[in-house]
Amino acid sequence: MNTEKVNRWVTLGANVGVFLGVVLLIIELSLNRDMIRAQTRSELSAQIA
């Protein structure tokens, strides 16, 4: 019975860790996309000038 309780807590912790990892990955991809857009705009404006 005690082992089952520990198993549930470990599983919950692992699931929360995976969820947080996915959230951080989404944030990082969004920031990376914004950075690439800004860099592209900068390069285009440098070519125009």
Instruction: Check residue 47 and give its pLDDT.
Output: 87
Taking the alpha carbons of 39, 45, 48, 49 in that order, is the dihedral positive or negative? Answer: negative
Query: Could you give the C-alpha distances from 42 to 1, 21, 29, 39, in angstroms and in order?
Result: 62, 31, 20, 5
Per residue in 1-49, pLDDT (tens digit) is 799 999 999 999 999 999 999 999 999 999 999 999 999 999 988 888 6
